[in-house]
Amino acid sequence: MRYNKCMFSGSTRLRISAIFFIFLFPFASLNADSFMDNLHLAGLANIFVFAADNGVDSDPMPIIPSLGVSAAWQFIKFLRLELTEDIYIQNYEFNTERGYPMACNPENRSALVIGFLTGIQLTGVIPIKENGMQIRAYAGPAADIRIVLLAAGLNHPDDFQGDERDAKKQTDAISEYFWNEARWFMPTAGLGMDFPLTEKILLGFDLRAWFPVYRLWSSVETPAIDGWRFGIGLRITPRKKAGTAQQAAAQD
């Protein structure tokens, strides 16, 4: 059974990779100079809120710091195709009574989850001023690609006694839950605004949400708020040189 679970997880990861590859492959044939002139890179720093309502059984509302990157290709004057990657780390346990994993405090942990929130968004950009101030609105598919590891530092006999509290069994159950029934699929939408910090840098503020659409078909009943993700963050974007920006505008 464990072999089949691993095969399922591996094939799911391959399907996710194939979807993103097929979606981005047409842009690989673009002229390199033209592509780079219209490519906007940014560094991201976020605070994520993982909404949950599990009472005293777990951390009721995990607040998690995250770092990430963004690459947006401007293919029309006011439209960009944006790829984002946000990385977070969180402790989890598996609640056998409720039948699903919960984010938890370190003392209750069984697994360490390293999450890669990967999204492809269509981003609309509305310039406000010529100095670079602009509003961004975006939405698109996203996947929460989670690596589930046995938490470090578990050395109490109860952690490995072979029953439902066994940390290894809980870690396997957490991984299986996350990858089954496409619980990794979380479309995203957000709003942002950029301000000129210096002549070379834009400072941006973002509000984002991820929607747990898998709840529509999941066989496990969870609290109504469970699975929702919200984020507030900062974005640092190097500004394009004036000449490059004018050439890109002329091409549009």
pTM of the predicted model, to two decimals? 0.79
The tens digit of pLDDT for each residue in 132-183 reads 899 999 999 999 999 999 998 876 545 555 556 788 889 999 999 999 999 9
Q: How far apart are CA 155 and CA 107, in angstroms?
A: 12
Question: How large is the average pLDDT for residues 6-31?
Answer: 53
Which pLDDT belongs to residue 235? 98
Q: How many CB atoms lie within 10 A of CB 90?
A: 19
Which pLDDT belongs to residue 240? 79
pLDDT at position 252 over 90? no
DSSP string, 70-135: EEEEEEETTEEEEEEEEEEEEEEEEETTTTEEEE--GGG-SEEEEEEEEEEEEEEEEE-STTS-EE
The tens digit of pLDDT for each residue in 219-231 reads 998 888 889 999 9
Is residue 57 very low, low, confident or very high in pLDDT (cuts 50, 70, 90)?
low
Which pLDDT belongs to residue 4? 40
Which pLDDT belongs to residue 131? 86
User: What is the average pLDDT score of the chain?
Assistant: 83
Bridge-based pairing state of the strands 201-210 and 229-238: antiparallel
Give SS3 for 164.
Answer: coil
Domain residues of the chain, as ranges? 2-26+36-251
Task: Select, from the ranges 29-38, 59-68, 118-127, 233-242, the one with the highest average predicted confidence (pLDDT).
Answer: 118-127
Tokens 């004018």 sit at which residue?
246
Amino acid letter, residue 170: Q
Report the percentage of the chain scoring pLDDT > 70: 76
Q: Assign domain 2-26+36-251 to its CATH architecture.
A: Beta Barrel (2.40)
Which pLDDT belongs to residue 248? 45
Which pLDDT belongs to residue 193? 97
- The answer to whether the CB of 44 falls within 8 A of the CB of 72 is no
Is residue 250 very low, low, confident or very high in pLDDT (cuts 50, 70, 90)?
very low
Question: How large is the average pLDDT for residues 77-104?
Answer: 92
